[in-house]
Amino acid sequence: MTISIGIISLAYCAGCELALISMKRFNELLARGAIDIKYSTLITDKEELEKVDVLFITGSIRTFEDVETIKKAYSKASKIIAFGTCSCYGGIPGLANLSKREDIIKSIFNDITPTISGLPELTRFVIPLQTVVKVDYSVPGCPPPEPLIEMLLDSLISGKEFTLPQKSVCEECPLNDGDKKPLKELRRRLIALNDIDVDKCFMKQGVLCMGPATLAGCRALCPSRGAPCIGCMGPLPSSRDQAADIIDALGGIFYTVEPLEKILEAIPDPVGLLSMFTLPYSTIPYHKEVGVKEVKRDGDGD
Amino acid sequence: MGLEPRVLAFTCTYCAYAAAEAAGVSKLQYPPHIYVIRLPCSGMFKSYYVFKALREGFDSILWSGCHPPYDCHFINGNYKARVKAELLKAYLKQLGFEDQRFRLEWISAGEPDKFARIAKEIVEEAIKTPKIIFLEHHEAVNK
């Protein structure tokens, strides 16, 4: 039996697609004829998406063209997979939710209105696919880690359910020694990374690591290779706000830091660092000026 | 209609909630716009509550716990709340929300007058700030 797959791409960098098609397991299945790529913007030369069994959607919704693409593709697949953090949680393009779309265009075109007609218009803010379209499976990661893609391919071929892990990166991390003492120091990540021991927990050396609030599945890829976790796998399935989770974790770990300003000095860009990949998916998904309507009160509280 | 300010107050059982109750018992006046929620300790106030409350239409949020350093029933809960609140304030500020939408105060069980004063202040400020309504995700495609 051959499973036909299609890969469509919205606002993305082609990394997820590349991670999928460069995987050993995927190529084995392709060579055996178990999988057939019917449509992909990166590697096939087809104009239109035909009917497929499984549709991988990578990237978040940023323009009205993306909206149209989704509308056309949605009915053509029996299974839809949100592939990669961008389509699951908004990803790096989601940080554009900190600015209004007029300001984004202004900063790129520098006050000159683009004269080419037919450019797709930007949506009001970046939307993660999951929040507007019903997806069968979501596979986060930037790009999705190999063990997770393998699990997904196995489940597609055998017909079993695919489930995400239910634990955090710290539980998989080889640097985690289970010691839960409060810590006295938090430093700016870039400065601290010059003089740390890569064989010890990053948090213990005062470096912000997103491990406690990030979904496992990558087998602690970054921490075990000398870089702190930046949270690309998004929040745990039980939660929606990665930032809220990491703030709670930091409160529990660094409550003995004196003075308090040191914590803020170490995290100069809270939104960019604490919800780098998940801003459009979180409870407050945008800057107040982007998507909040303000209603003036009379003043007498009536 | 629906424009009355709503303020959510998270209080810890041992100090701030006791103060709120004492304020009621001693007939101190404070505005009815404040909704008091009782939780075991300020150290377990979740940051998610603040985001959720703002999203659901509350105008401002008050976190209140026991005075540092020694009042906390669980030894260091208020220290944890302090760190969380500081980070939350910075986070909300970067997202463009006014400072008065989130406030952390220490109120001990013997200070019902302080609770009443802060409740009055926070509701007055909430009346001055506009009510906020969040757009849903599917509304982003409306032009």
ipTM score: 0.93
B2 in any annotated domain = no
B69 in any annotated domain = yes
Mean pLDDT taken over chain A: 89
pLDDT tens column, A125-142: 999 998 888 999 999 999
Q: Where in chain A is the domain with CATH 3.40.50.700?
A: 3-158
A 10 A CB-CB count for A201 gives 21
Distance CA B8, CA A176 (A): 38
Closest CA to A34 of A5, A76, A77: A5
Q: Does A133 touch chain B (CB under 8 A)?
A: no
Is the separation of the CB atoms in A81 and A139 below 8 Å? yes
B62 in any annotated domain = yes
B11 in any annotated domain = yes
- Cβ separation B4–A302 shorter than 8 A: yes
- Cβ separation B83–A254 shorter than 8 A: yes
Q: Is A110 left (phi over 0), alpha (psi -120 to 50) or beta?
A: left
Is the separation of the CB atoms in A131 and B137 below 8 Å? yes
Closest CA to A91 of A228, A242, A279, A236: A279
- Quote the pLDDT of residue B82: 93
Which residues on chain B are in Cβ contact (under 8 Å) with A293? 132-135
- Cβ separation B140–A125 shorter than 8 A: yes
DSSP, res B64: E
**Cβ pairs A/B, distance under 8 A:** 147
Nearest CA in chain B to A260: B83
Which residues on chain B are in Cβ contact (under 8 Å) with A213? none
pLDDT tens column, A103-129: 888 888 877 766 667 778 889 999 999
What is the CATH code for A3-158? 3.40.50.700
- How close B125 gets to chain A, by Cα (Å)? 10
What are B37's strand-pairing partners?
B10
Distance CA A185, CA A256 (A): 8
Is the separation of the CB atoms in A242 and A235 below 8 Å? yes
Q: Which domain holds residue B117?
A: 7-141
Tell me, rounded to whole angstroms, the distance of Cα A82 from its chain centroid: 11
- Cβ separation B87–A267 shorter than 8 A: yes
B1 in any annotated domain = no
Which residues on chain A are in Cβ contact (under 8 Å) with B48? 239-241, 244-245, 248, 283
- Cβ separation B76–A294 shorter than 8 A: no
Distance CA A217, CA A165 (A): 6
pLDDT tens column, A241-287: 999 999 999 999 999 888 888 899 999 999 999 999 999 999 999 99
pLDDT tens column, A12-25: 888 999 999 899 99
- Quote the pLDDT of residue B1: 44
B29 in any annotated domain = yes
Q: ∠ CA(B110), CA(B42), CA(B36), 5° rounding?
A: 70
Total domains, chain B: 1
* Minimal Cβ distance to B48: which of A244, A254, A293: A244
Is the separation of the CB atoms in A212 and A245 below 8 Å? yes
* CATH label of the domain that carries residue B64: 3.40.50
- Cβ separation B33–A257 shorter than 8 A: no
Q: Does B47 touch chain A (CB under 8 A)?
A: yes
Q: What's the whole-model pTM score?
A: 0.93
Closest CA to A170 of A104, A134, A218: A218
B131 in any annotated domain = yes
B33 in any annotated domain = yes
